[in-house]
Amino acid sequence: MPREDGKRNFALREEDGTEESVFSGNSPRQAALKAARRLHPAPSREEVDDHAVLRLREKGTDKVHVYHGWAWKEESPDDTPDWMPDVVTRANVSKQGIEHL
């Protein structure tokens, strides 16, 4: 069920079915991108060789959105604010489908 601001909550499911982390977003992809940024990042975009499986259960439903996700390190753009680090973690995801519990 969406919140007042339109965002939905998605629980990251582990292999054993436990749900430790919750990510919010307007779409499942937005929540999957947030989850993918927590993966161990590759040194650069060209060196990404491992894709993790992310299973996000939409809270209040029986839908589990399945994504392949990966992350990498990248230098910050030149126009970043002073508080932003020089190297940031970027991520990408690819939707594999929806499962129903």
pLDDT (tens digit per residue) in 70-91: 999 999 988 999 999 999 999 9
| Confidence band of 26 (pLDDT split at 50, 70, 90) | very high
Residue 77 lies in a domain: yes
How far is Cα 23 from Cα 53, in angstroms, rounded to an integer?
A: 16
What six digits make up the tokens of 63?
A: 């839908």
Domains in the chain, number: 1
Tell whether 74 is covered by a domain. yes
Cα separation, 92 vs 79, whole angstroms:
22
Residue 69's domain spans which residues? 8-100
The separation between CA 35 and the C-alpha centre of its own chain, rounded to angstroms, equals 3
| Domain membership flag for residue 3 | no
In whole angstroms, give the CA distance from residue 69 to residue 32: 8
Q: Is residue 2 part of a domain?
A: no
| Beta-strand relationship, 52-58 and 19-25 | unpaired
pLDDT of residue 2: 62
Q: Please provide residue 2's backbone torsions phi and psi, each rounded to the nearest 5 degrees.
A: -70, 150
